[in-house]
Amino acid sequence: MLTAAGLILLPLIVALIYGEKTFAAFLIPSAIFLLLGVLFMIKKPKGRAYRASEGFVITALSWLLISLVGALPFVISGEIPSYIDAFFETVSGFTTTGASIVPNVETMSYAILFWRSFTHWVGGMGVLAFGIALFPSAKNKKHDGDGTEAHILRAESPGPTYGKLVSKLRFNTRILYGIYFVITVIEIILLIAGGMPVFDSIVNSLATAGTGGFGIKAASIAAYDSVYAEMVISVFMILFGINFNVYYFMLIGKFKSVLKHEETRWYLGIIAFSVVAIAINISSMYESLAQAFRYSFFQVSSIITTTGFATADFDLWPSFSKIILVLLMFIGASAGSTGGGLKVSRVLILIKTTFREIRYSINPRGVRSIRCDGECVDQAVIINTSSYFAVYMILFALSVLLVSIDGFDLTTEFTAVAACFNNIGPGLSLVGPTGNYAELSAFSKIVLSVDMLLGRLEIFPLLIAFAPHAWKNK
């Protein structure tokens, strides 16, 4: 909460630069965050380490509180008068979803536009992870705090596993955030070099880094009509969708570890196949095959990394192309990246588990292990992945059922849930790249807000937070 109190003041710098009088919109939430932070420090239990379930509860409730208070700048400024709409927009920001209820984003103030995109950047690597990386933890004689931090990072980290790069968890987090920051700055510089205005370059890079996709133009990235900008953003969306451990291995010269990283190979392979398949399928809609490749490359990069930027109305594309994009919504980016979705590694494990069961049915006496990156996958990871997928499908079906109460067409309802659960943003039909979520009911917006949080925290932390068993003293 103390971290959030400081971060929410950054838009004030933007307000000062552009002469906007939106100070109260950020000062009041900052004061609330500060008060909550002080109260939590006073109430913090001493003399023992947190259990795993408590770490999950802390993470889930922290994200919920940060979203509830983080919505206040929109309401206080009057730019999103409805609190439910503001909450939806804020959850969409922090969870890096990019689904919006704003009909005309270009009328918003610079400070609010910066806050929207900045929530993407903070949420991309994790709000609590940022605090862990930046500030020292309170330690006592019996516990060094590392166990608590591990539980929190495990809850915030996207993917089936969380691995350390170095022996100290805090240093590990700082390394990843350092890489994250440097790549973001490089993108900003490249966009400015290509002629994009400085403010636009910053907020678009923040949204790209967090794979969030909040645009500051009604036409999203298409408004710039720049092949250079599209290619830069496309490449960086792909880069932010790669497991950040890969970049660390590259920095320390472990190129063999990079080359044998199976998830990255499949991730890049899926992108290449999808780009070619869609480009060929939509080639008749554009002046040349090169132009079709341009739009295909951008949209595939945007959807598989769950960023949600758009340069074309893919809702008008043939069914074949739209189905590929919907499938990419579910697959998502790599584990350990800022992207959402099921994650490529989890999909690989599910596929390999299926083939193993088929082989076992044919030859029950055969003993076959599942291998990734040349190593056997622990049975606990396989069970966790299968359980995750089962719960994912149940919650997804329930969400579609609840959203269907609004009475919109099936494409809108199904892709709205898919886009929010997988933290993508735009879906198809009413919630397509040229539409938004404004017409949905308040009930549906709350359902989809919960879906966004479930998707970003990978389901279990939020379920554990509201499970009565987690609150019992042991």
| Residue-level pLDDT at 252 | 85
Instruction: Assign 2 a pLDDT band (cuts: 50, 70, 90).
Output: confident
Q: Is residue 168 pLDDT above 70, yes or no?
A: no
Say if CB 309 and CB 298 are below 8 A apart. Answer: yes
pLDDT tens digits, 292-327: 999 999 999 999 999 999 999 999 999 999 999 999
| Residue-level pLDDT at 125 | 85
Say if CB 79 and CB 67 are below 8 A apart. Answer: no
Q: Is residue 75 pLDDT above 90, yes or no?
A: yes
Residue bearing the bigger pLDDT, 296 or 139: 296
Provide the Cα torsion 244, 322, 442, 220; round to 10°.
Answer: 60
Residue bearing the bigger pLDDT, 171 or 352: 352
Length of the chain counted residue by residue = 474
Q: Is residue 97 pLDDT above 90, yes or no?
A: yes
| Residue-level pLDDT at 281 | 97
Helix 169-193 × helix 198-209 angle, to 10°? 140
Distance CA 120, CA 203 (A): 10
Question: Would you state the structure tokens that stand for residue 352, as one six-digit string?
Answer: 């390999």
Q: Is residue 143 pLDDT above 50, yes or no?
A: no
Among 35-39, 54-58, 397-401, name the most confident range: 397-401
Q: Is residue 11 pLDDT above 70, yes or no?
A: yes
Please state, as a whole number, how many other Cβ atoms lie within 10 Å of the Cβ of residue 151.
Answer: 23
| Residue-level pLDDT at 141 | 39
Distance CA 189, CA 204 (A): 12
| Residue-level pLDDT at 225 | 93
Amino acid at 143: H
Average pLDDT of every residue of the chain: 88
Q: What is the mean pLDDT of residues 353-362?
A: 88
pLDDT tens digits, 195-224: 999 999 999 999 999 999 999 998 999 999
Q: Is 101 left (phi over 0), alpha (psi -120 to 50) or beta?
A: alpha
Share of the chain above pLDDT 70, in %: 88
| Residue-level pLDDT at 134 | 67
Residue bearing the bigger pLDDT, 81 or 359: 81
Say if CB 207 and CB 215 are below 8 A apart. Answer: yes
Q: What is the mean pLDDT of residues 279-304?
A: 96
Distance CA 416, CA 420 (A): 6
pLDDT tens digits, 389-432: 999 999 999 999 999 999 999 999 999 999 999 999 999 999 99
Specify the range with the lowest mean pLDDT, choosing from 49-58, 84-93, 220-229, 328-337.
49-58
Q: Is residue 461 pLDDT above 90, yes or no?
A: no
Helix/strand/coil percent split, the chain, to 5 = 70, 0, 30
What 8-state DSSP symbol labels residue 376?
Answer: E
Instruction: Assign 254 a pLDDT band (cuts: 50, 70, 90).
Output: confident
| Residue-level pLDDT at 122 | 92
Distance CA 436, CA 446 (A): 15
| Residue-level pLDDT at 138 | 44
